[in-house]
Amino acid sequence: MSRIGLTRSILVNSAPIQSSPIRSETSSVIEVKNDITQEDVNRLIAEKHRLSQEAAKLKARISRLEMQNKIKERTDKENPRFLTRGEFEYRAIEQQLIQQRATMNELLMSDKAAQIYELKESIRLIFEEKERLKDLQLEKQMEINAKKAEWEELQRTDGPEIFQQQIIIIDELKEKLAKFRKANEKLRLKVENLKDQKEIETKLAGSQPKRQTDYLRILIRDAEEATKKIDEKIEESIYQHSEIMKGLHIELLQKGLDKESLL
């Protein structure tokens, strides 16, 4: 049986409660004292239990005194001035019982105060949990906003449009490289033809003027220098192309992207 049920059962089995100055005074104290601790609740429970035991003892004594009173009534009819000691004791016990009932009622009010205290604690815990969840939600929202901003910056600097532009540049470099190789091949063939022609002319006309020989040497030298410059441009274009592709590959790996995901 709960504390409230036990208190109510005692009050139902008892006589009606009379007003008492102790009750009003204690009630005012309870109204003023709002901060009730668990120690106060335990003390009130122990006090209520003690008073319940005393009330039970008093009821037993009253029952015995009522039996004695019935016997005394017959004696009083014979001698009205005769008052036994039991009658005085009965009246004292009856007054004490009234006070005990008032105290029990005050304990009931204290029990309600304890319930209010428990409700306040529950409300406080719920409020703190709500604030914690609100802070957690705010933190998650900030993380989402940061990720969104990072993604937008990535789209702006290395998004599909930028990647397509890089692809166009790479294709143009490949096209230029192919042209350089083609021109280099033509110059190489031209140089070889000039060399062959020089050897033939040297064998067939070893007495040609020195001026013609010098002219052929100049043509061969110019062809060789042009070929060398073209080879250097081709190597430089290949190197630049390789560096661009390497940089794009490293950047995409760092950001967790690949060409297929951007296209």
Minimum mean pLDDT range among 21-25, 148-152, 190-194 = 21-25
Give yes or no for residue 108 having a pLDDT over 60. yes
Instruction: Output the average pLDDT for the chain.
Output: 68
Whole-angstrom CA distances from 128 to 43, 117, 121, 125, 187 are 29, 17, 11, 5, 84
CA of residue 87 relative to chain centroid, distance: 74
pLDDT value, residue 230:
72
Per-residue pLDDT of 75-92, as tens digits, reads 555 554 545 566 667 777
The answer to whether 55 and 34 have CB atoms below 8 angstroms apart is no
Quick one: pLDDT at residue 198? 64
Q: Per residue in 128-187, pLDDT tens?
A: 888 888 888 898 889 888 888 888 777 777 667 777 777 787 778 778 778 877 877 777
Report how far residue 56's alpha carbon sits from residue 32's, in angstroms, rounded to the nearest whole number. 32
* Confidence bin at 260 (pLDDT 50/70/90): very low
Q: Which pLDDT score, from 0 to 100, does residue 38 have? A: 77
pTM of the model: 0.29
pLDDT band, very low/low/confident/very high, at 66 (cuts 50, 70, 90): confident
For residues 30 and 4, give the distance between their C-alpha atoms in angstroms, rounded to a whole number.
Answer: 17
Euclidean distance between CA atoms 169 and 163, whole angstroms: 10
**214 pLDDT tier (thresholds 50, 70, 90):** low
Note the pLDDT of residue 200. 59
Q: What pLDDT was estimated at residue 119?
A: 81
pLDDT exceeds 80 at position 124: yes
Tell me what pLDDT residue 8 has.
39
Could you tell me the CA-to-CA distances from 132 to 139, 144, 213, 241 in Å, in that order? 11, 19, 96, 54
Which pLDDT score, from 0 to 100, does residue 206 have?
52
CA pair distance 60, 57, nearest whole angstrom: 5
248 vs 53: which has the higher pLDDT = 53
Which has more pLDDT, 194 or 200?
A: 194
The pLDDT score that the predictor gives to residue 15 is 40
